[in-house]
Structures are given as C-alpha cells and as structure tokens.
C-alpha cells in the first residue's frame, strides 16, 4: 500500500496507550502528509498526556469504544486508507482476574472494526497482535516462534488476541479484506503503564520499593524497543502483501531476573530490592521470535540495542516522575498487590 503520497488518512485505535501513541508520534514525525484519527476509549491504560505534543492539525482525537458500531462508523471518515488496531485490554494479569473486558474489546471490538472497514471501503486493516497467541516455548530449547507456529494461547489475554487474529484472517479469506497481522514480543520504552513488568521495575526501583519477581524469575521474554516495533508496523502497512502475517522481534531474549537486575544496576540500587513472590497462574516460560520474514521482506531491523533502549527508557521515567505519579494515583494497585497485599515476603 503506497503511502505518504498526496495525503494519507489513517484511523488508529488505542492511540492513547503505550504503543499506539508511539506509533502516532513516529508517523507524524516522519512525513507531513499523514492525517490521523485516533479513536480511543481512554480506559485506565489510555492517557491523553501521551498525546500532548502532537500536531492538532494532523492528529484528531476521538473518545470512543471500538465495540460501539455507531461510534466507530461516525468516527471513520470517508477516504480512510487504513485502520491500525492497537486498542485492546493488554495485561495478562488483569485477564486472569477477569476476562470479560478482554473478550468484549479484543474480540468483539476487532469484529466491529473489520465490519466497518469493509462497509466503508477502507483499503487495508492492520491488526497489532502478539507472540503470546503461540503459547510457550521451553526454557532451554532453541526453537523460535515463526509465522507458521501453531496457535496455543495460554492466558485469557492471549486467547482473546488469538480469537481476534482468527477474525482478521476470516475477513480476509471470506470477504477479501486487505489485512496484515503483526505479532511482536514484549515492548519497552517511554509511556508504558507501570503495571507491566519493566516500567513497574523502573518506577519501583526509583522509589526504593521492591520489585516483585514471579516464581523463580527464569521466565524468558523477547524484548523490543517500542519505536523499533512501530517502525516494523509502518513497513508492514506499506510493503506487506495482503493477508500476510509478520513476526516482529529484536532477537533479545532475557530472563526476568536479568531484566530487573539491569534496571537496578542502571539506577545504582541494591539487588536486595528483588522480591521473589508467588508465581502467576499458567505463567508462560519462554517467548522467542524468529523475525526473518520481516527482515527479509520488509527490510526491517531494530535500531536500539537492549542497552541503548533501556537507557532511554529509564531516563524517560526519571524525567517524568509526574506522569508516573498521575498514572498510579487513585485506586491503582498492581495485580500482585490485589492478590496478596503489599507485605509479601519471598
Ligand atoms: P495499552 O494497554 O498501553 O493501551 C491500550 C489502549 O487501548 C489504551 O489507550 C486504551 O484506552 C485503549 N482501549 C482499550 N479498550 C478500548 C476500547 N474498547 N475501545 C477503544 N480503545 C480502547 O496497550 P499497548 O501496550 O500499547 O498495546 C497495544 C497493542 O499492542 C495491543 O493490541 C496489545 O495486545 C499489542 N501488544 C502489546 C505488547 C506489549 O508489550 N505492550 C506486545 C505485543 C502486542
Ligand atoms: P508483563 O509485563 O506482564 O508482560 P507479559 O506477561 O505479557 O509477558 O510480564 C513480563 C514478565 O515479567 C512475565 O514473565 C511476568 C513477569 N512479571 C514479574 O515477574 N513481576 C511482575 O510484577 C510483573 C507485572 C510481571
């Protein structure tokens, strides 16, 4: 799909969240010809602070829910070239506590968007998905997730994202909708809600609070800097062939314990802040992505190393203590605190 020609109109959902807002920032910085409608329900994870510095001429925010057909239809202007669907309930721990909202937003919401894309003649639909739909790899094996790995989601979150992928595939197969699916691993970077592991570790460590490590801390995640992920999405949008799926990963597998130690070391904090706690139920052991297709076909490669990405991320949290304070105010409690209280010993 050639873009950045005369004027490109894109409909981004979930653009007030962590990855969606980074994507919008990247896109607006990259060319002057893109206009974005950002459709977001502003759930606990959506934050208008994330959009403050964006050009109001080219970024139009609409508060709305992707499960609301009329609202989606009304917001989707004529001549929209593509829908990029970031909107989701995105935290595994929350899906363990209650799956309802995950099913509504991630599954039904995706179908509403697919229907709207078809009815309004939108050229392309890009679904932002996750490696978690492929379940778990073994800790010590050398296998990787590829685009043809079997679906084997293990958490309610992963199952809802897998269902969404099936609906996207079905819309392509049955109705000929031009679709792309991207699946990536664990993103890190500025503006990530501090219930996810890395921003939680950074913000706790900055306040000399302990970092909860689930289980033995040897679970492996494949970490990618958020802007690298967003550049891959953009390339997939522009260069991907209709119906394609791309795995996006930076070949950066890390054990959780190593991630937490890197954060503590970068901040000069003691390892005694690590606190081993009861494991997450059904905790996937290892995610590892083979990004060969994205590299070969899209010409994509990550720019940040783990060291440079982590440095940028930590600096951002250091410089934006107010953002964290505001985000965490109110009734905010991590999953772990909700389940086990704050005074848990290892
Ligand atoms: P996030 O939780 O930070 O943001 C989600 C955004 O979606 C929020 O702004 C929220 O207000 C909005 N939203 C939620 N429900 C909505 C609804 N019903 N209607 C409209 N808007 C709604 O999530 P994120 O980390 O930015 O993730 C974005 C996408 O990337 C998600 O689809 C997620 O599954 C996927 N993903 C994330 C990661 C990761 O590491 N964060 C990894 C792989 C895939
Ligand atoms: P998370 O950020 O929730 O992402 P995901 O579950 O989608 O991978 O968690 C990343 C890893 O860190 C995961 O293995 C669970 C673990 N974890 C902890 O050890 N402690 C925590 O407080 C959290 C939130 C996660």
Average pLDDT over residues 193-198: 95
pTM: 0.96
Count of other CB atoms within 10 angstroms of residue 192? 26
Residue 194 CA: which ligand is closest? 2
Distance 86 CA to ligand 1 centre (A): 5
Average pLDDT over residues 293-310: 98
Residue 287 CA: which ligand is closest? 2
What letter would DSSP give residue 151?
Answer: P
Distance CA 88, CA 101 (A): 9
Distance 270 CA to ligand 1 centre (A): 33
Is the pLDDT score of 2 beyond 60? no
Calculate Rg over the CA atoms of the chain: 19
Residues with CB under 6 A from ligand 2: 91-93, 186, 196-197, 200, 212-214, 219, 221, 256, 280, 336
Distance CA 63, CA 75 (A): 9
Q: Is the CB of 128 under 6 A from ligand 1?
A: yes
Is the pLDDT score of 327 beyond 90? no
What letter would DSSP give residue 335?
Answer: H
Distance 322 CA to ligand 2 centre (A): 24
Instruction: Single out the residue of 223, 138, 143, 139 nearest to residue 187, CA to CA.
Output: 223
Q: Which residue's CA is the closest to the ligand 1 atom numbered 43?
A: 130
Distance 102 CA to ligand 1 centre (A): 11
Encode 206-219: b = buried (16+ Cβ within 10 Å), e = exposed.
Answer: beeebbbbbeebeb
CATH superfamily of 197-220+252-284+304-344: UDP-galactose 4-epimerase, domain 1 (3.90.25.10)
Count of other CB atoms within 10 angstroms of residue 251? 15
Q: How many angstroms from the chain centroid is the CA of residue 311? A: 20
Distance CA 257, CA 219 (A): 8
Q: Which residue's CA is the closest to the ligand 1 atom numbered 10?
A: 46
Helix (H) or strand (E) holding 266: helix 256-267
Contact 283, 96 (CB under 8 A): no
pLDDT in the model for residue 32: 83
pLDDT by residue (tens digit) across 252-297?
999 999 999 999 999 999 999 999 999 999 999 999 999 999 999 9
Question: Which residues, 6+ apart, have CB-to-CB distance to 108 below 8 Å?
Answer: 67
Q: Give the position, in ligand 1's atom list, of the atom nearest the Cα of 66.
A: 19
C-alpha torsion angle, residues 149, 197, 167, 228 (rounded to 10): -70
9-188+224-248 folds as: Rossmann fold (3.40.50)
The domain locations on the chain are: 9-188+224-248, 197-220+252-284+304-344
Q: Residue 334 — very low, low, confident or very high, per pLDDT cuts 50/70/90?
A: confident
Distance CA 262, CA 259 (A): 5
Q: Give the position, in ligand 1's atom list, of the atom nearest the Cα of 21.
A: 26
Q: Is 179 exposed, middle or buried (0-12, 13-18, 19+ CB in 10 A)?
A: buried
Is the pLDDT score of 3 beyond 90? no
Q: Give the position, in ligand 2's atom list, of the atom nearest the Cα of 287.
A: 8
pLDDT by residue (tens digit) across 239-248?
999 999 999 9
Q: How many angstroms from the chain centroid is the CA of residue 259? A: 18
- Sign of the C-alpha dihedral, residues 196, 201, 203, 207? positive
Q: Residue 5 — very low, low, confident or very high, per pLDDT cuts 50/70/90?
A: very low
Distance 208 CA to ligand 1 centre (A): 29
Q: Residue 145 — very low, low, confident or very high, per pLDDT cuts 50/70/90?
A: very high
**Which residues are catalytically annotated?**
131-132, 157
Angle between helices 321-328 and 306-319 (to 10 degrees): 70
Task: Please identify which residue in the block is written with the tokens 């602070």.
Answer: 49
């Amino acid at each position: 799909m050639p873009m950045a020609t005369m004027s490109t109109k894109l409909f981004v959902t979930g653009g007030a969240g962590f990855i969606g807002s980074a994507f919008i920032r990247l896109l607006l910085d990259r060319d002057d010809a893109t206009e974005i409608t950002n459709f977001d329900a502003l759930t606990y994870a959506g934050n208008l602070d994330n959009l403050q510095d964006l050009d109001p001429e080219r970024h139009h925010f609409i508060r709305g829910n992707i499960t609301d057909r009329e609202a989606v239809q009304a917001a989707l202007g004529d001549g929209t070239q593509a829908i990029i669907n970031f909107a989701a309930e995105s935290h595994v721990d929350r899906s363990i506590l209650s799956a309802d909202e995950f099913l509504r937003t991630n599954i039904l919401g995706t179908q509403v968007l697919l229907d709207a894309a078809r009815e309004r003649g939108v050229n392309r639909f890009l679904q932002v998905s996750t490696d978690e739909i492929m379940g778990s790899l073994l800790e010590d094996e050398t296998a990787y997730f590829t685009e043809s790995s079997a679906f084997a989601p293990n958490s309610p979150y992963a199952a809802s994202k897998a269902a969404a992928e099936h609906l996207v595939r079905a819309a392509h197969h049955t109705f000929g909708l031009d679709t792309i699916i991207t699946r990536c691993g664990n993103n890190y970077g500025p503006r990530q809600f501090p219930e996810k592991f890395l921003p939680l570790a950074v913000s706790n460590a900055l306040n000399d609070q302990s970092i909860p490590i689930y289980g033995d801390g040897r679970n492996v995640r494949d970490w990618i800097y958020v802007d690298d992920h967003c550049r891959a999405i953009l390339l997939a949008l522009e260069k991907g062939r209709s119906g394609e799926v791309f795995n996006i990963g930076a070949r950066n597998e890390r054990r959780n314990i190593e991630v937490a130690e890197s954060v503590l070391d970068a901040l000069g904090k003691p390892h005694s802040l690590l606190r081993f706690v009861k494991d997450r139920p059904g905790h996937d052991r290892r995610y590892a992505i083979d990004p060969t297709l994205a590299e070969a076909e899209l010409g994509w490669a990550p720019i940040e190393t783990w060291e440079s990405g982590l440095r940028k991320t930590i600096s951002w949290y250091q410089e934006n203590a107010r953002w964290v304070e505001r985000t965490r105010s109110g009734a905010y409690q991590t999953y772990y605190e909700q389940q086990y209280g704050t005074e848990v010993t290892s």
